[in-house]
């Protein structure tokens, strides 16, 4: 479903992605973990071309994302993206946030888009927040609206860039529950996260990154109990035993 | 002999002043009509990813900002008037539009750049083209932010339009100049003209303030 081949990326002299190779199968849920500055966010951002790459190739659902001939706007409709800081459109209501892209990009009639938007928001527990602007929503509610907005384009893949890092502790659960639900429905997902318990519970594979490289890829029961790489052992001893 | 004020020159010639107001508002409104799209295009152009578009936009803004309006008016009148057979009326409107447009461009650019980067990223990641993201997500928010400086710019435009009289485009200032030359009632006429300009700009100011209040209140 997602194929990342020999990807390199630098910001100036700082190489943030080094020879990344990764295969992600359909319906797999991947947690991308590692110390800050490891390149996790950059990796997830190059998958839908929010960042350019210097070399290599990324193929999502048969489409080469960084090929100049690719219609990136069309390719992106297949990839939902959820940001750490929500990035909801503050001048639109929750429902309008969800429906604007289906209406304007996909050309879905407004009434159909609204029906779908209402269903999505309801399924995420936001039935009573449809006509509320983001500034009147809590962080957890905003992030759920952002998830609904991404799902509204009916993507094959969802990318989450630290979806709970900007949330108060009591709101983390409601967002994780939403992601957990998607995992059960078989959505292909990559989640950059610091929630180790969550990663362990829902993910098929843990991708551990450090210094711009993929250091280890293993199923969670192996990764968390018996990590192969020394780098992951050090990282886990720091995050699990604090 | 002491100068005796005689306001009858005003009351007897109200029709001339009203005509003048109408012409000034007409020139200002038409200039604004062109200045706004010019400002949006070049404001967005200033932050375009395309270096050529960015360069052209920057040259335009810097030149307009660096040359006095009076010189632009005369130059457009002489050069374009010569080759395109533009009258003083359209010469004035073009001059005011391109001059004011450069300032609007800077306001638009500032408004766009004041928005968090994530707004553009969210729009693009949902499949919107750069143009769609600008039109549907970025500019609606940028406009709210730019309303106060934009209002000042509209007021400046009305005031600047008084310069068109120097290329003999007919407006309130030219009407007043001519009337003063005939009647020798300079103090009365120019006092009244000042009052009229103030009334126009202050009314506009109040309208914009109302608009702003309603718009900003209904916001988010």
**Which domains, and CATH codes, for chain A?**
2-78+156-240 (3.40.50.300), 87-154 (no CATH)
Residue-number span of the structural domain to which B143 is assigned: 8-218
Contacts of A61 (CB under 8 A, 6+ apart): A1, A2, A78, A156, A157
* Interchain CB distance below 8 Å, A88 and B127: no
Terminal Cα distance for chain B, rounded: 65
Say how far apart CA A152 and CA B123 lie, in whole Å. 13
B132 contacts on A by Cβ (under 8 Å): 104-105
How far is A86 from chain B, CA to nearest CA, in Å?
A: 8
Contacts of A117 (CB under 8 A, 6+ apart): A95, A98, A99, A102, A130, A148, A152
Residue B98 belongs to domain with CATH number? 1.10.3720.10
CA B165 to chain centre: 16
CA angle, A221 as apex, A220 and A222 as ends, to 5°?
90
State if pTM tops 0.80. Answer: yes
| Domain-located, residue B2 | no
Q: What are the angstrom distances between the C-alpha of A152 and each of A107, B81, B167?
A: 13, 55, 58
| Domain-located, residue B183 | yes
- Write out pLDDT tens, residues B65-96: 999 999 999 999 998 878 888 889 999 999 99
> What's the total number of domains in chain B?
1
| Domain-located, residue B30 | yes
Choose among A87, A100, A150: nearest Cβ to B118. Answer: A87
Choose among A134, A136, A153: nearest Cβ to B127. Answer: A153
Q: Tokens 């010019």 label which residue?
A: B38
User: What ipTM was reported for this prediction?
Assistant: 0.91
Asked if B220 reaches chain A (Cβ–Cβ under 8 Å), the answer is: yes
Say how far apart CA A96 and CA A149 lie, in whole Å. 9
Say how far apart CA A142 and CA A148 lie, in whole Å. 10
* Interchain CB distance below 8 Å, A89 and B219: no
Q: What is the pLDDT along chain A (242 residues), one digit of tens a residue?
A: 899 999 999 998 999 999 999 999 999 999 999 998 899 999 999 999 999 999 999 999 999 999 999 999 999 999 999 999 999 999 999 999 999 999 999 999 999 999 999 999 999 999 999 999 999 999 999 999 999 999 999 999 999 999 999 998 888 989 999 999 999 999 999 999 998 989 998 899 999 999 999 999 999 999 999 898 999 999 998 887 76
| Domain-located, residue B185 | yes
| Domain-located, residue B160 | yes
């Amino acid at each position: 479903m997602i194929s990342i081949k020999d990807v390199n990326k630098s910001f100036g002299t700082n190489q943030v992605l080094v020879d990344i190779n990764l295969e992600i199968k359909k319906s797999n849920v991947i947690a991308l973990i590692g110390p800050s500055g490891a390149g996790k966010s950059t990796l997830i951002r190059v998958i839908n071309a929010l960042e350019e790459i210097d070399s290599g190739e990324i193929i999502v659902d048969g489409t080469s994302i960084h090929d100049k001939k690719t219609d990136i706007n069309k390719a992106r409709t297949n990839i939902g993206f959820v940001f750490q800081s929500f990035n909801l459109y503050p001048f639109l209501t929750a429902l309008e946030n969800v429906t604007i892209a289906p209406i304007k990009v996909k050309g879905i009639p407004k009434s159909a888009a609204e029906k779908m938007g209402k269903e999505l928001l309801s399924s995420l527990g936001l039935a009573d927040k449809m006509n509320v602007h983001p500034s009147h929503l809590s962080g957890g509610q905003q992030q759920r609206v952002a998830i609904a907005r991404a799902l509204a384009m009916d993507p094959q893949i969802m990318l989450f860039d630290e979806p709970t890092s900007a949330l108060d502790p009591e709101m983390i659960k409601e967002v994780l529950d939403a992601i957990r639900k998607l995992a059960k429905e078989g959505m292909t997902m990559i989640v950059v996260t610091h929630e180790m318990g969550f990663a362990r519970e829902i993910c098929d594979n843990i991708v551990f990154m450090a210094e711009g490289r993929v250091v280890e890829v293993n199923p969670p029961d192996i990764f968390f109990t018996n990590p192969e790489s020394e780098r992951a052992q050090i990282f886990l001893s720091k995050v699990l035993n604090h | 002999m002491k100068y005796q004020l005689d306001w009858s020159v005003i009351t007897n010639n109200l029709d001339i002043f009203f005509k003048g107001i109408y012409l000034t508002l007409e020139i200002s409104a038409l200039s604004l009509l062109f200045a706004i799209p010019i400002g949006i295009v070049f404001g967005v152009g200033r932050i375009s990813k395309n270096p050529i578009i960015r360069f052209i936009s920057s040259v335009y803004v810097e030149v307009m900002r660096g040359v006095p309006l009076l010189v632009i008016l005369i130059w457009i009148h002489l050069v374009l008037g010569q080759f395109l057979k533009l009258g003083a009326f359209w010469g004035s409107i073009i001059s005011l539009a391109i001059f004011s447009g450069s300032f609007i461009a800077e306001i638009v650019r500032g408004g766009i750049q004041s928005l968090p980067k994530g707004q553009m990223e969210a729009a693009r990641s949902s499949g919107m083209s750069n143009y769609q993201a600008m039109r549907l997500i970025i500019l609606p928010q940028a406009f709210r932010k730019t309303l106060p400086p934009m209002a000042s710019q509209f007021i400046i435009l009305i005031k600047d339009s008084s310069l068109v009289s120097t290329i003999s485009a007919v407006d309130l200032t030219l009407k007043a100049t001519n009337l003063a030359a005939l009647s020798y009632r300079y103090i009365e006429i120019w006092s009244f003209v000042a009052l009229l300009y103030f009334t126009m700009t202050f009314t506009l100011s109040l309208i914009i303030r109302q608009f702003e209040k309603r718009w900003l209140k209904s916001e988010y």
